[in-house]
Structure 1
Amino acid sequence: MSAGAQQRLMSELKGLEKEKWVNIELDNGSLFKWNVGLIVVNSESAFDGAYFKAQMVFTDKYPFEPPSFRFLQPIYHPNIYADGKLCISILHTPGEDAQSGELASERWSPLQGAESVLRSILLLLDDPEISSPANVDAGVMYRDKRAEYNEKAAETVVASKKNIPDGFIMPTSLETAPPKEIPDDEDFWAQSEEENDFGASDSDEDFDMDEDEEEGEGEDEEESED
């Protein structure tokens, strides 16, 4: 396996472990095969509250080749095939495709990563591309019978919750807790003021002493002139 691919994947995995909206476990300890729990935390989404099991597979040529992605449960969606694979530009090989009309900027590039793929999939769930659907019936229902489509989505959410791992706590918000307030410790501030006095009183005394010495020197000079 490519050492470069391994280092890149280890770094990306470490970053994703901090996110609430995804839960990743390595398949049999393989860094190149991820078992993914993709979590929808969006009150405006038809799939809000879903825990979608998926699998993401990388080659030793990553990141120069895109990973593959497949949902492991049925999802009625315009851009998801019956086998769980997706019709999404970011998973297509780099470069422009004259036949599909996709621009290079829409397709995979080494600047992309696992997180950008997963975020793109979450966006696609709520904003499907129905002009060239993978599931024509779902595309028509989404366009013409949105209420029925949303009912199917709700049923899918209920079914997906059976995949939540034991002991896993589903997030209800993606916002992080605010930082703790600094305690109002009067002793701390009093001590700080004393420490930051910078010896002002000592400086005044030194200044007064310098003035007395200058006056004395002036008187001595006048007496010597007489």
Structure 2
Amino acid sequence: MGRKKLTAKQHEFLQFLIDHTQEHEVWPTYREIIDHFGYRSPNSVTQNLKALHRKKHLVRDSQGYHLAPKHRDDEEDTGIPVRGIISAGTLQEAVEADLGTITLDMIFPNIDRLFAIRVSGQSMQGADIRDGDYVLLIDDDIPEGGIGAVLYNGETSLKRVYHDKNGLRLEPCNPEYDDIHIHPDVFEEVTILGRYVGHVNERGIFKRRSAA
């Protein structure tokens, strides 16, 4: 699914983010956005950011919102060249041709919603996710028993996530590590940063297995 059409006000909001980021090389603060548009409440900023995120013009990671790749000046249209056709049946004459490129958005159809976090520790080595790997996460809910990143009380963890009536149980994929139990108080919040869809290391790109 591609990016959805913006309203005139949303387009103006997005253009401000693009212009400010290109000019100052940093993301604008809430105060700068409020002063520019004359908003009465920070909630107006939040609602616009969420709308642009839903319409795939922004991506979000543990650091906050960022422009989607389409809106970045330094984003290059690169990929793996497709150089021809090869038979998977009987022997046939090689066919060489320029058939375009395989890009990351073909490998990961929801690339606009993806972000990466570097792993520290070995608690997920049973899922072939090791210290120093970069896990690829999508801004989405984590199914029962699925692997994902969770933020609680200023701390994050990558684990298998299980829900119960009192909170969450975070299960490692390494018997040397213990489960983590999160039972938040009424005023505390558990944030799902993203659902695991793959990881990257010096050996290549690995997509999520069906059981992960």
Q: What is the TM-score when the length of structure 1 is the normalising length?
A: 0.20
The structure whose residues are more often strand, as a share, is 2
Q: What is the TM-score when the length of structure 2 is the normalising length?
A: 0.21
Larger radius of gyration: 1
